[in-house]
Amino acid sequence: MKKIWIVYLLLIACFALYVLDFRAQQSRMNEQWRTGGLRGEIGEKYVMVTFQMGIDYWKSGLKGFEDAAQALNVSVEYRGSTQRDVHEQITVLEQVIAKKPAGIAISAIHPSLLTATIDKAVDAGIPVVLFDSNAPGSKAYSFLGTDNYAAGVEAARKMAELAGGQGEVAVVTAPDQQNHQERTDGFAATIAAEFPGMRIVEVKNGKGDQLASRQAAEEILRAHPSVAGIFATEANGGIGVAEAVRAAGSKAGSGPRIISFDTDKGTLDLVKSGDIAATMAQGTWNMGYWSLQFLFSLKHGQGGSPNAGTARIPRQADTGITVVTRQNVDDYYAK
Amino acid sequence: MKKIWIVYLLLIACFALYVLDFRAQQSRMNEQWRTGGLRGEIGEKYVMVTFQMGIDYWKSGLKGFEDAAQALNVSVEYRGSTQRDVHEQITVLEQVIAKKPAGIAISAIHPSLLTATIDKAVDAGIPVVLFDSNAPGSKAYSFLGTDNYAAGVEAARKMAELAGGQGEVAVVTAPDQQNHQERTDGFAATIAAEFPGMRIVEVKNGKGDQLASRQAAEEILRAHPSVAGIFATEANGGIGVAEAVRAAGSKAGSGPRIISFDTDKGTLDLVKSGDIAATMAQGTWNMGYWSLQFLFSLKHGQGGSPNAGTARIPRQADTGITVVTRQNVDDYYAK
């Protein structure tokens, strides 16, 4: 009887030790996690605000925003105007501000008409960054987007590669929009500076429209039948230019080389068929991912800048450009 | 005897349940931490490489690098050449690469002579970013630094504020260096575009040297005795200009307003005394903090860009500028 008591006591003691060891392990683990790692609260909500919120273009940016939120253990919400309508976007932004979110990343439909509302958010203590389309006069802490001049430089180098560094090239653009003018400037400056065998013979206004761009390209092909390449600074224009080249009787890949912009389905299909030689993909995932990282940093004051008044995040981030060709086009279809 | 057996069995069952519950809790916790929070390993070492590694200028950038490392639970090492010597920096970089660190942030002493060594690091699979001084032809994934044109724009607006938007202004710069030319360009373009009451009457070469800048400023003061302000695009020049203004008999704050650049002790002392009205502080903490964040992101492939070949970090980050005046100068002395 006494023996069996001792056996039971030993057994119980073993279990007790096991349990205590677990407790100690757990508290060590808690300690460790408290002292390191960037991690928010799941109740911390960051909002992305766009315009024409249903279009494909925003998908990759939102994916980046969500990926960063998952990495940092915070929540996101996607809002925006359904139409390309300034007043609707202002209303949506007002609604978002009223809920006092942890941060707002907004793509401004207009460079100045959103400024007062953006400033209202900043004045209410909400971290705000702009992405893709800037509102330069606002109090937002940062802008993340494409350096359009640099994108034009890249397009020129790709064009030179496609044309073997020789021949006449043309541009179809939308000169009224600053980002398109910058793409054209970067393209023209690079052709002039780096490729003495090449020359820009025409810069035409395609008005951001497929039909107008097709007509512009037709005029270019008539005036310069031996044109080696055409750079379209936006997607509708690229599709229009491809139609003109095909209508002129060129088989895919045999006529003038076309470089377009962005990665909507229509453009990707023409890259796949060889009608468009290359298209410039913007770093939209980067815009979303780093918008959330910047907002998180503003919200948490991570690390803390040693200098009062010095912002804790970059003033501006160029989210980069990738050249999409037949080789890698399959990676760019929306998933 | 049977009763006591049952009691013991119940007791053992209770302990067993308790232990199992602990196990379940722990595994839930592990799961939670695995899916949320950015956190590296303490054995993961990121290296910052500079030149003239002992000077004050790097302190704030290194602090940012260390702050980010602490937040992410990784380690850092600070390396660099002791002198302003290209070959010494190349040797240091070679040594760093040989140790296969988790990432390298380097400020290149020369825009092209480091390129081959930087590319060697990238080809070896080591994440590399450049900060403060770029090597634009290298394979490094990003550059974090001051947008010097934007800094010139800010300086012009501050100058207009100091001068009440009226009068003649001059620039003392180092035109051989691209970053200084950009500061001058941003300053000149902004005065011309935004302040019709102001005019730039001289742009002099101060050669990045205190004495040469003093002489340049003396010539400006002789030719234009009523000059309202002088912008010095670098710190030695700012000190030289301040000497010239003082020698011309102006008491601190009564002569032409001086705007200088950077926050070395000599400049800060002159801001404190009122001889220099304002100096432009670069976002050096930002350079270090976000260099480490970018390297961590490259190393861990956090989130993962959906598009093959698309970089996961911004191509370039403008780390911003803050205007330092007598009001906030105390925050900028090295701590």
* Model confidence pLDDT, tens digit, residues A161-191: 999 999 999 999 998 888 899 999 999 999 9
**Residue position matching structure tokens 């400023």:** B217
- Of the candidates A49, A124, A58, the residue with the CA atom closest to the CA atom of residue A93: A49
In tens, the pLDDT along A222-250 reads: 999 999 999 999 999 999 999 999 999 87
Which residue of chain B has the CA closest to A144?
Answer: B314
Contact (Cβ atoms closer than 8 angstroms) between residue B232 and residue B238: yes
| Integer angstrom CA distances of residue A12 from B12, B25, B304 | 7, 22, 49
Distance from CA of A244 to the nearest CA of B (A): 30
CA A36 vs CA A22, A39, B47, B104: distances in Å: 22, 9, 19, 21
Check if B332 contacts A (Cβ < 8 Å). yes
> Whole-angstrom Cα distance, residue A171 to residue A220?
9
Q: Is the pLDDT of residue B261 over 50?
A: yes
pLDDT band at B89 (very low <50, low <70, confident <90, very high): very high
Reference B178, options B110, B120, B76, B257; nearest CA is: B110
What tokens appear for A102 in the block? 């942890």
Which amino acid belongs to residue A27?
S
Nearest to A293 among B29, B293, B307 (CB): B293
Alpha helices in chain B (DSSP H): 2-35, 59-72, 86-98, 115-123, 148-162, 178-194, 210-223, 235-247, 265-273, 284-300
Angle at A144 between CA A138 and CA A149, to 5 degrees: 100
Asked if the model's pLDDT at residue B306 lies above 50, the reply is no
| Residue B285 near residue B63 (C-beta atoms within 8 A) | yes
Residues 55-74 of B with CB under 8 A from A: 60, 63-64, 67-68, 70-73
Could you tell me if the ipTM is greater than 0.85?
Answer: no
**R_g over Cα of chain A:** 27
Q: Is the pLDDT of residue B88 over 80?
A: yes
- Per-position DSSP letters for B166-193, written without gaps between them: -EEEEEEE-TTSHHHHHHHHHHHHHHHH
Q: Percent of chain B scored above 90 by pLDDT?
A: 76
Q: Is B43 on the interface with A (CB under 8 A)?
A: no
Q: Are B74 and B103 in contact (CB under 8 A)?
A: no
Q: What is the mean pLDDT of residues B79-108?
A: 96
Confidence of residue A70 (pLDDT cuts 50, 70, 90): very high
For chains A and B, count residue pairs whose Cβ atoms are closer than 8 Å: 196
